[in-house]
Amino acid sequence: MRRTIGPCVAGGLGLAAVLALAAAWLDDYQALVLGEVGLIAIIGVGLNVLIGLSGQMSIGQVAFQAIGAYTVALITAVAPQLFWPALALGVLLAALGGFLLALPAVRLKGPYLAMITIAAAFVVEHAIIAWKGLTGGANGIAQGSGVPLPWGDASAQALAGLIVLVAAAVFLAYAVFARSRLGLALAAVRDSETAAAAIGLDTVALKCLAFAIAAGLAGLAGGFFAPLTGFISPESFPLSASILDVLAVMMGGTEAVLGPLYGAVVVVLLPEMLAGLAEYRLLFVGGLLLIALLIAPAGIAGALARWRRGRGEAPASPPASLDLAAFLALEPRREAALAAVGLTHTFGGLRAVADFSATFPAGAVTALIGPNGAGKSTVLNLLSGFYRADAGGIFLDGRAAGRLGAWQRARRGLARGFQTALLFDGLSARDNVLVALRRGRAVGGMARDIAGRLLAVAGFEGDPGALAGSLGPRARRQVEIARALALRPHVLLLDEPAAGLTTAERGPLARLIREIAAAGVAVVLVEHDLAFVMEVSDQIVVLDRGQVIAAGPPEAIKADAVVQAAYLGTRAAMRPAAAAKRAPGRAVMLNATGITAGYGGAPVVEDVSFAVAAGETLAILGANGAGKSTLLAAIVGLITPRAGSVEFDGGDVTGFSAANLAARGLVLVPEGRQVFPELTVRDNLRLGAFARRTWPDRSELDAVFDRFPRLAERSRQRAGLLSGGEQQMLAIARGLLARPRVLLLDEPSLGLAPQIAERLFADLATLAAEGLTMVVVDQMATLALGIAERAIVLENGRVTHSGSAADLAADTGLAAAYLGGTGARPLVSPAL
């Protein structure tokens, strides 16, 4: 796309020049209409910066248009020859107004943002009315003079031509801007403010800039509006005009450079073409706009792009690798790159971190481990500046950094990853890295190349031009690491980088982390997989309930009795349920036959059949991406299977909605901490019983709290404030409150500390023993097999093995091949 910009620019400018010349043959009215198209297009480009690039919104652009128009009209009324300086001043004043409005607006989102811009439009309109002495009040001002050109005042035709040229220049500037460092940075802020701060972008300043640019362009359009129409009054700038401006951009398409042009053509010309309909006109305009929004969701530009798709980027040849140490150019230093002293943080009344002190030396990998809710992620957020500590100090390269914001710490060399990889989904994988890269030393035209190499270093094998939003979880983590490396960090914080990876995939990750550390970077790691932690770490810090309970080299930690008790637990007897075989000949409770399902494109699951008898527990095993979650989603009705049928309790329920099935007792506890974040823990649990249409009573809740004491402590807190592991417990507890007849669990142990995961499965075993029918999907195959009677193994969406749980567990070769090794490797090393 970049390569094609040259000829297109020439073509566009040529067209603009032709149009500008053609304006000479238009009559006055046509010239006025052409000028209006140009002005709305200019405002639209400004809105494109604001909406399309920076992801904000303004329904108050008329305010800035009015500022520009009145500045020009008032100055040229006194000194007609000063049009051009007046125009410049108008643009500046409008931009300043935009900046001032941005100060409160950048903290706002969605409807709040819309409201403040609407309010601004009203305030400006009525200020003009009230300030009669200057503005002539509601009477408005007649603009006597035109636009001075070298050969005299511009005629209506010349003015229209001029506006076309100015609009063309604005479009060109936008095309360059959108690809520039600033443009990419704005897009980054749009996609994730958190991640943008983490790569050192000053999100507030960037959003203010977008507002100022949009306002300045509206002011520019306003400056031309006065001479174009010859008269301005407060009524020339009604709120409805702002709405129309936004509509123009939306209809044109916010993603494309030329979107505002298409939109402007439509919103100006459509009413003109319908002028014959007189008073019926607005009725048609409203209807047509609605239809246009419905049939062209990505705007006209988007629809055109879809029409001529096929010119995709050629697949990139695998990029050469990168000498990471040379790129990072850091001498291995043994002094502390990052140090925390006495950090304390309270969270919703609970002390999440208390008196945390640690040093993270350069060139070493430090792991933070501990049970769920121990405060590991909170420590990472304190270190990286996303939370402000209540007490304590943070030192980055020996200098106090405790008062710096996240983006400032990033600029001082602190990079981080997030628990769920946070990427800029609207940018390509390469641009994700590129936007971070430019913070480092000048790399010039090499930037793209280096970004590609960094991706390769991080193990990314996909198309660097693919949108980040389209990548799978593993690729997202790789892009995130590459992006963090692009900052040339002194310190790198990683939050559960190995989560969801198979053993085969963990090896390269461990090597990469060692390589990064070897280059002199202080790596800090939060991770549950102890084998992985032991393999990569130089030192380990163990947290429990916000406090450091142990710290030292891996060997010492392994031997530490306190750690064993707090974190690892003792392996309880796991097989009471599975051992107690129930009588054969039980009724089939859930029967899936020939299920084929997916999300468009190739099916993820093909022709899968299984049956679960009443009181039986079935484990579904398989590597990442084998289709386990998709299968469950198809069974409970979250997605409609393309083929096959589901029978539940003797009746055909294929195609039933998830809500309907839940009400019938087929309950899925979905993967990944699916809670209602704004509701309290108690209310989350109560909603578990919604399908029963009864409100659970106190004793029922108490029973849940007995099983999950952590939830009892936090029952009145909003669920969103819980740690990841606690949320997982809540989701499972909530599923149990539905009193399911068949309970499906998708990755229940994901993100749980070993001790908690073990206790959870012990509880599930008890439930199985009590006669609950269950289907369990879990990466920790030993745990799942431990409670199941039978199991099936999925590979690439098909069943490859099925049999009794005991047989499958015994088949270590099978486990190694299909279970990503987690089955073959005991969960907790017995050596510990």
Partner 1 sequence: MLLAAALVSGLAIGAMYGLLALGYHVTWVVSRSVNFAQGSVMMLGAVIAFSLMLGWGWPWPLALPAALAGCAGFGVVLERVAVRPFRARGSESWLMATVAAGMLVENAALFVFGKEPRGMPSALARHPLMLFGAGILPLHLVILLTGLGLAGAFLVATRATPYGKALLAVVQNPRAAQLMGIDATRMTVFAYALSSALAGLAGILIAPLINVSADMGFVFGIKGFAAAILGGLETPSGVVLAGLLLGLAEASITALIGSGATVMASFGLVILTLYFRPHGLFGRAEIRKV
Partner 2 sequence: MTFGISPRFFAIAAGFGLALGLSPHPARADPPPIPIGLVAALSGQSAVSGDAITRGLAVAIDEINAAGGVLGRPLELIRRDDESNPGKGIAAARELISRDHVVAFFGGIDTPVSIALVPIANKEKTPFIGVWAAGTGITRNGASPNYVFRVSAVDALVDQRLLRYAVTVARAKHPGLMLIDNPWGESNHAGLMAAAKATGITLAGAESFETGDADMTAQLARLKQAGADCLILVGNAAPAAEVIRSLDRMGWDVPVISHWGISGGRFPELAGPSAAKVAFVQTYSFFKTSAKGEAVLTELEKKYPAIKGPADVVAPVGTANAYDAMHLLALALAKAGSTEGPALQAALEALPPYDGLIKRYDPAFTATNHDALGPDDYLMVHFADNRIVPVD
Q: What residue 255 binds from partner 2, partner 1, none (CB within 5 to 8 A, per partner kind)? A: partner 2
Which among partner 1, partner 2, none contacts residue 325 (Cβ within 5 to 8 A by kind)?
A: none
Hey, which residues between 256 and 285 contact partner 1 (CB under 8 A)? 279-280, 282-283, 285
Q: Does 255 bind partner 2 (CB under 8 A)?
A: yes
Binding test (CB under 8 A) with partner 1, winner from 119, 265, 304, 817: 119
Residue 668 binds which entry of partner 1, partner 2, none, with Cβ cut-offs from 5 to 8 Å by kind? partner 1
Q: Where are the alpha helices (DSSP H) in 230-280?
A: 239-252, 259-273
Radius of gyration of the CA atoms of the chain, in A: 31
Q: In what order do the strands lie in the sheet with 643-648?
A: 605-613, 588-597, 643-648, 651-652
Least separation in angstroms between CB 591 and partner 1:
20
Binding of partner 1 by 84 (CB under 8 A)? no
Is 258 one of the binding residues for partner 2 (CB under 8 A)? yes
- Smallest distance from the beta carbon of 63 to partner 1, in angstroms? 11
Token code pair at residue 799? 């069943």
276 binds partner 2 (CB under 8 A): yes
Q: How many whole angstroms separate alpha carbon 661 and alpha carbon 668?
A: 10
Candidate list 3, 4, 310, 602; residue touching partner 2; CB under 8 A: 4
Q: Work out which of 325, 549, 588, 687 binds partner 1, going by CB under 8 A.
A: 687
Contact in structure between 413 and 490 (CB atoms under 8 Å): yes
The reply on whether position 301 binds partner 2 by CB under 8 A is: yes
Rule CB under 8 A: which of 541-580 touch partner 1?
none
Distances (CA, A) of 413 to 166, 329, 333, 395, 541: 42, 13, 15, 12, 22
Give the span between the Cα atoms of 607 and 161, in whole angstroms. Answer: 64
Report how far residue 115's alpha carbon sits from residue 59's, in angstroms, rounded to the nearest whole number. Answer: 8
Here's the x/- map for partner 1, 416-435, by CB under 8 A: it reads as --x-----------------
Q: How far is the CB of 263 from partner 2 (least distance, A)?
A: 12
Residue 265 CB, nearest approach to partner 2 (Å): 6
| Residue 731 binding partner per list partner 1, partner 2, none, with a CB distance cut-off of 5 to 8 Å that depends on partner kind | partner 1
**Which one among 10, 79, 84, 107 touches partner 1, defined by CB under 8 A?**
107
- For 343, half-sphere exposure in the C-beta direction (CA atoms, 13 angstrom radius) is 32
Number of residues that bind partner 1 (CB under 8 A): 79
List binders of partner 2 among 305-324 (CB under 8 A).
Answer: 305, 307-308
Number of residues that bind partner 2 (CB under 8 A): 55
Q: What does the buried/exposed string (b/e) look like for 744-773 if buried means 16 or more CB atoms within 10 Å of the residue's CB?
A: bbbbbbbbbbbbbbbbbbbbbbebbbeebb
Residue choice 24, 28, 286, 348 for contact with partner 2 (CB under 8 A): 28
Burial of 409 (0-12, 13-18, 19+ CB in 10 A): buried
Report d(CA 15, CA 411) in Å as an integer: 44
Should residue 405 be labelled a site residue for partner 1 when binding is judged by CB under 8 A?
no
- 708/752 Cα distance (integer angstroms): 13
The only residue of 11, 14, 144, 286 in contact with partner 1, by rule CB under 8 A? 286
Q: Based on the shown chain and the rule CB under 8 A, indicate whether residue 30 belongs to the binding site for partner 2.
A: yes
Give the nearer residue to partner 1 in terms of CB position, either 404 or 687: 687
Does 87 sit near partner 1 (CB under 8 A)? Answer: no
CB 382, min distance to partner 1, A: 11
Q: Which two tokens stand for residue 271?
A: 């009413």
Q: Is 675 in the site for partner 1 (CB under 8 A)?
A: yes
Q: How far is CA 36 from CA 12, 265, 292, in A?
A: 19, 9, 21
Contact 420, 474 (CB under 8 A): no
Residue 99: partners with Cβ closer than 8 Å, 6 or more residues away: 208, 211, 212, 215
Q: Indicate whether 12 belongs to the interface with partner 2 (CB under 8 A).
A: yes
Indicate the SS3 state at residue 697. coil
Q: Following DSSP, what letter does each residue of 449-505 receive, concatenated?
A: HHHHHHHHHTT--S-TTSBGGGS-HHHHHHHHHHHHHHT--SEEEEESTTTT--HHH
Q: Which does 390 bind (CB under 5 to 8 A by kind): partner 2, partner 1, none?
A: none
The residue among 536 and 675 lying less far from partner 1, judged by its C-beta, is 675
By CB under 8 A, the residues from 158 to 217 that bind partner 2 are 171, 175, 178-179
Shortest distance, position 740 Cβ to partner 1, whole Å = 10
Nearest residue (CB) to partner 1, 395 versus 690: 690
Q: Determine if 140 is a binding residue for partner 1 (CB under 8 A).
A: no
Task: Kindly give the residue spans of alpha helices, DSSP state H, lying in 349-446.
Answer: 376-384, 406-411, 429-437
- Toward partner 1, which CB reaches closer, 191 or 789? 191
Read off the tokens for 670: 């979905």
Check binding of 246 to partner 1 (CB under 8 A).
yes
Instruction: Using DSSP, state whether 620 is helix, strand or coil.
Output: strand
CA–CA dist 759, 707 (Å, integer) = 9
720 binds, among partner 1, partner 2, none (CB under 5 to 8 A by kind): partner 1
Q: Does 346 bind partner 1 (CB under 8 A)?
A: no
Name the one range near partner 1 by CB under 8 A: 24-32, 206-214, 620-628, 663-671. Answer: 663-671
Mind spelling out the 3-state secondary structure of 482-493?
HHHHHCCCCEEE
Binding stretches for partner 2 (CB under 8 A) = 1, 4-5, 8-9, 11-12, 15, 27-30, 32-33, 36, 129, 132, 137-140, 142, 144, 171, 175, 178-179, 229-233, 235-236, 238, 255-258, 262, 265, 269, 272-273, 275-276, 278-279, 281-282, 301, 304-305, 307-308
